[in-house]
């Protein structure tokens, strides 16, 4: 079997091994593949592995020998799964691998807002402590989380992991989800979206990007929030109308916002959040601790193994 990975760099920039795939066939790995090179690079490969490189119907038409598509991610919108299904090609994703990593990053962002660790360390290294009149100083308001309310929109795997961490910090947890479940009820009080917006000191987004969740944070929903609310987004950029959030940050209606994801990635130079002093922006790193990427690699390999054994798993286009 010939296996080609079209854009392997973000999953494995060099600290992991592709050995699991090498054991299953003749492997070629490209770091990145431009749209116009997709068909040529697939060539006569039987299994195509992608992360964010689009595979459209034309690619399936041009490469009729493709038997399997593996996506190195949970989201598989880069693949025309219907076109693949019409040719009986299973498309397999990684349903979950980074729950704890994303929950941890959510708190890394929130704690940065509470303590400004990076800026205080920079100030110390610049000599501001050595030259200080008192034995300590702080340049920003410091904030304790205990006793505050954490509102979580989308209370699935990651949302509930964040809820458990919030409780460990002494926070009260409110959750809004389209569906409620028993494990969620043990962690949080389920409330309506309006109640969550009104009551929460911190709002963290963990719902998927669907038409009904796109722009869920907008001028109207922000107007229902407490003055001085904190907003964290480690889910998907388009959940937030960024111009509305930037306005609320400038007007200090929103105390601070931290986003690991933005509407267009990589971030565009004219993204309005870039100009806000009270925004924290990270380059979509929540999923990327080595442990989390190793888990992703292991599942991607076992997905292909299961296909080769005749029992494909994690197939996202079975019923199309």
Residues that bind ligand NAD in the complex, under the rule CB under 6 A: 74, 96, 98-99, 102, 153-159, 176-179, 206-210, 212-213, 234-236, 260-261, 284, 286-287
Q: Determine whether 206 is an active site residue.
A: no
Q: Nearest approach, Cβ of 138 to ligand NAD (angstroms)?
A: 30
Give the phi and the psi of residue 14 in degrees, each rounded to 5.
Answer: 135, -10
Report whether 171 contacts 148 (CB < 8 A): yes
Q: By C-beta, is 209 or 243 nearer to ligand NAD?
A: 209
Q: Nearest approach, Cβ of 111 to ligand NAD (angstroms)?
A: 17
Q: By C-beta, is 135 or 179 nearer to ligand NAD?
A: 179
Helix (H, G, I), strand (E, B) or coil at 17: coil
Q: By C-beta, is 66 or 70 nearer to ligand NAD?
A: 70
Q: Determine whether 265 is an active site residue.
A: yes
Residue 303: CA count within 13 A, CB half-sphere: 26
Q: By C-beta, is 102 or 248 nearer to ligand NAD?
A: 102
Q: Nearest approach, Cβ of 205 to ligand NAD (angstroms)?
A: 8
Catalytic choice (41, 236, 293, 295):
236
Q: By C-beta, is 132 or 183 nearer to ligand NAD?
A: 183
Q: By C-beta, is 83 or 258 nearer to ligand NAD?
A: 258
Separation CA 54–CA 124 (nearest Å) = 46
Report whether 154 contacts 235 (CB < 8 A): yes
Measure Cα distances from 242 to 180, 230, 249 in Å: 29, 15, 10
Q: Nearest approach, Cβ of 182 to ligand NAD (angstroms)?
A: 13
Burial class, 269, CB count within 10 angstroms (exposed 0-12 / middle 13-18 / buried 19+): exposed
Catalytic choice (119, 186, 219, 265):
265
Q: Determine whether 293 is an active site residue.
A: no
Separation CA 233–CA 265 (nearest Å) = 14
Token look-up 């309006």 returns 194
- Tally Cβ neighbours within 10 Å of residue 13: 11
Helices H / strands E in the chain, number of each:
12, 12
Burial class, 314, CB count within 10 angstroms (exposed 0-12 / middle 13-18 / buried 19+): buried
What dihedral do alpha carbons 205, 208, 212, 213 form, nearest 10°? 20
Q: Nearest approach, Cβ of 204 to ligand NAD (angstroms)?
A: 11
Closest residue to ligand NAD, Cβ-based?
A: 156
Residues forming the active site: 236, 265, 284
């Amino acid at each position: 079997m010939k296996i080609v990975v079209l854009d392997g760099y973000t999953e494995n920039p060099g600290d992991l091994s592709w050995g699991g795939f090498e054991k299953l066939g003749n492997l070629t790995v490209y770091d990145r593949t431009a749209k116009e090179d997709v068909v040529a690079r697939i060539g006569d490969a039987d299994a195509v592995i992608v992360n964010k490189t689009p595979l459209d119907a034309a690619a399936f038409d041009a490469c009729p020998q493709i038997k399997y598509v593996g996506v190195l991610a949970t989201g598989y919108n880069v693949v025309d799964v219907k076109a693949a299904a019409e040719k009986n090609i299973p498309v397999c994703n990684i349903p979950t691998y980074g729950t704890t990593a994303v929950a941890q990053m959510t708190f890394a962002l929130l704690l940065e807002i509470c303590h400004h660790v990076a800026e205080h360390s920079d100030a110390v290294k610049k000599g501001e402590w050595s030259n200080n009149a008192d034995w300590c100083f702080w340049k920003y308001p410091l904030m304790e989380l205990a006793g505050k309310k954490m509102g979580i929109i989308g209370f699935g795997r990651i949302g509930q992991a964040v809820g458990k961490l919030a409780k460990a910090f002494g926070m009260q947890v409110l959750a809004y989800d389209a569906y409620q479940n028993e494990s969620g009820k043990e962690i949080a009080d389920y409330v309506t979206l309006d109640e969550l917006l009104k009551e929460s000191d911190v709002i963290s987004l963990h719902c998927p990007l669907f038409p009904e969740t796109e722009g869920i944070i907008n001028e109207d929903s922000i107007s229902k929030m407490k003055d001085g609310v904190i907003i964290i987004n480690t889910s998907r950029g388009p959940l937030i109308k960024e111009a509305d959030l930037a306005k609320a940050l400038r007007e200090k209606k929103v105390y601070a916002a931290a986003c690991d994801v933005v509407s267009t990635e990589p971030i565009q130079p004219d993204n309005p959040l870039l100009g806000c002093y009270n925004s924290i922006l990270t380059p979509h790193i929540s999923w990327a601790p080595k442990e989390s990427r190793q888990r992703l690699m292991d599942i991607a390999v076992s997905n292909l193994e299961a296909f080769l054994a005749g029992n494909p798993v994690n197939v996202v286009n079975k019923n199309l």
